[in-house]
């Protein structure tokens, strides 16, 4: 059975579905990871849902049916269907099923619109900790609304997200359902297609169980995604010129003729220089950096007032100064790169030195203060 999460993950990363199918077929072992932050998010999510329940009805008594998690899947589906036919005001943790599709919604809320159930029908409400509705949440709402349509024989008119600040955003189902069905059909077709995907980095990597497997593959291949700050589109056009690895990009002689399509001269100089720096750091077995000059007033960290710079310096510094081999004090900063979190020791003995600690992989908006980091 496929869930809303399966479709959302498919849209975020095509390779994930291949890995999951291989694991289900016994072709590979699924890695196990325990992240305490995920348990914390789960607890916060439950509190958020309970807060919404408490405020439902505006002080009036609400007939609420909660579907226990301990029930078997078939019993949970049966209890949900029974609650919907009974006309309960709210069904909490309702379990919906339509053939190979199924899942547990946060809330099914009764509205005064006739359906096969009676003079009422239901709309889907999902509680999210985010402060704004994301595309993933809308797809999830469409998933449950489409199944609900089969049960009550009428498509819900609206679907709703309760945000982390308790504001409710509502969406017209008719505006999104066609796109959802296209994604769902793409998902089904991908399941029947040959597994020729590659673990391209995606936002989902930050929380994906398979990240160690994919990251290892990218490092074994010396994949271009290891170059900090490079975009997927740039990787695509470099690949079309048979530049497939970090090493190859670092060795690239500039200028390139004919020009590489859709990569400007300045952008190519930047990513080639970054690749060269990372390659040299890797070959030397140490973290190296290059400070980009000149310093521009009112740009990057230089735009911050002195008291904010002191706070920033505290956040970058470790509890006690480290001594560099040269005898200089340094701050240990963390630079986020596409390939993960890398520690960079950058000589920094004054506030002006701190202004150079902006990693090239994550420049501030409108900033000319950057530091290339390799290793």
For residues 133 and 142, what is the distance between their CA atoms, to the nearest angstrom?
Answer: 13
- The pLDDT tens digits for 324-338 are 333 333 333 333 333
d(CA 356, CA 163): 38
Determine which of 35-39, 77-81, 111-115, 176-180 has the lowest per-residue pLDDT on average: 35-39
Sign of the torsion formed by the C-alpha atoms of 48, 161, 181 and 233: negative
Q: Using one digit for the tens of pLDDT, what is the confidence trace for 218-277?
A: 999 999 999 999 999 999 999 999 999 999 999 999 999 999 999 999 999 999 999 999
d(CA 77, CA 30): 29
- Tell me how far apart the alpha carbons of residues 346 and 357 are, in angstroms, rounded to a whole number: 7
Three-state SS for 142? helix
Taken as a whole, the chain contains a residue count of: 375
Per-residue pLDDT, 320: 37
pLDDT score, position 283:
94
**Burial classification of residue 99, based on how many CB atoms lie within 10 Å of its CB (0-12 exposed, 13-18 middle, 19 or more buried):** exposed
**Structure-block tokens of residue 11:** 């849209």
CA 17 to chain centre: 16
Question: Which of residues 20 and 357 earns the better pLDDT score?
Answer: 20
What does DSSP assign to residue 363? Answer: P
The answer on pLDDT for 315 being more than 70 is no
Q: Give the number of other Cβ atoms within 10 Å of residue 245's Cβ.
A: 18
Q: Give per-residue pLDDT as tens, 177-217.
A: 999 999 999 999 988 877 789 999 999 998 899 999 999 99
* C-alpha dihedral sign at 369, 371, 372, 373: negative
Per-residue model confidence as pLDDT tens digits over 142-166 = 999 999 999 999 999 999 999 999 9
CA distance 238 to 224: 9
**58-72, 75-89, 104-118, 260-274, range with the lowest pLDDT:** 58-72
- Within the chain, residue ranges assigned H as helices are 4-12, 14-24, 36-55, 73-86, 135-152, 173-192, 211-221, 232-240, 246-250, 265-284, 306-316, 351-354
The domains of the chain, with CATH numbers, are 4-192 (3.90.320), 222-284 (1.10.150), 290-374 (no CATH)
> Looking at per-residue confidence, does 352 or 150 come out higher?
150
């Amino acid at each position: 059975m496929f869930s809303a999460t399966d479709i959302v993950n498919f849209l975020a990363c095509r390779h994930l579905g291949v890995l999951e199918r291989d694991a289900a077929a016994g072709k590979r072992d699924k890695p196990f990871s325990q992240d305490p932050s995920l348990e914390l998010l789960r607890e916060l999510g439950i509190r958020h849902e309970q807060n919404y329940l408490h405020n439902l009805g505006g002080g009036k008594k609400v007939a609420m049916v909660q579907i226990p998690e301990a029930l078997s899947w078939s019993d949970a589906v049966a209890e949900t269907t029974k609650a919907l036919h009974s006309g309960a005001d709210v069904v909490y943790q309702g379990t919906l099923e339509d053939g190979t599709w199924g899942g547990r919604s946060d809330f099914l809320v009764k509205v005064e619109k006739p359906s096969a159930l009676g003079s009422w029908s239901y709309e889907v409400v999902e509680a999210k900790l985010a402060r704004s509705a994301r595309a993933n949440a809308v797809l999830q709402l469409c998933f449950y609304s489409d199944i609900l349509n089969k049960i009550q024989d009428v498509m819900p008119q609206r679907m709703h997200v309760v945000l982390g600040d308790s504001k409710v955003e509502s969406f017209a189902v008719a505006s999104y359902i066609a796109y959802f069905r296209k994604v769902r059909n793409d998902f089904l077709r991908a399941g029947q297609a040959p597994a020729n995907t590659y673990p391209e980095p995606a936002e989902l990597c930050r929380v994906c169980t398979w990240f160690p497997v994919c990251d290892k593959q990218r490092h074994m291949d010396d994949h271009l995604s290891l170059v900090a700050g490079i975009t997927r589109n740039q990787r695509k056009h470099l690949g079309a010129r048979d530049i497939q690895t970090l090493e190859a990009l670092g060795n690239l002689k500039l200028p390139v003729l004919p020009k590489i399509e859709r990569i400007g001269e300045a952008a190519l100089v930047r990513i080639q220089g970054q690749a060269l720096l990372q390659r040299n750091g890797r070959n030397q077995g140490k973290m190296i950096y290059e400070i980009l000059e000149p310093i521009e007033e009112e740009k990057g960290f230089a735009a911050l007032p002195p008291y904010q710079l002191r706070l920033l310096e505290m956040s970058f510094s470790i509890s006690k100064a480290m001594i560099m081999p040269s005898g200089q004090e340094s701050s240990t900063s963390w630079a986020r790169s596409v390939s993960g979190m890398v520690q960079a020791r950058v000589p920094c003995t004054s506030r002006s030195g701190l202004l150079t600690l902006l990693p090239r992989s994550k420049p501030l908006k409108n900033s000319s203060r950057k530091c290339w980091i390799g290793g």
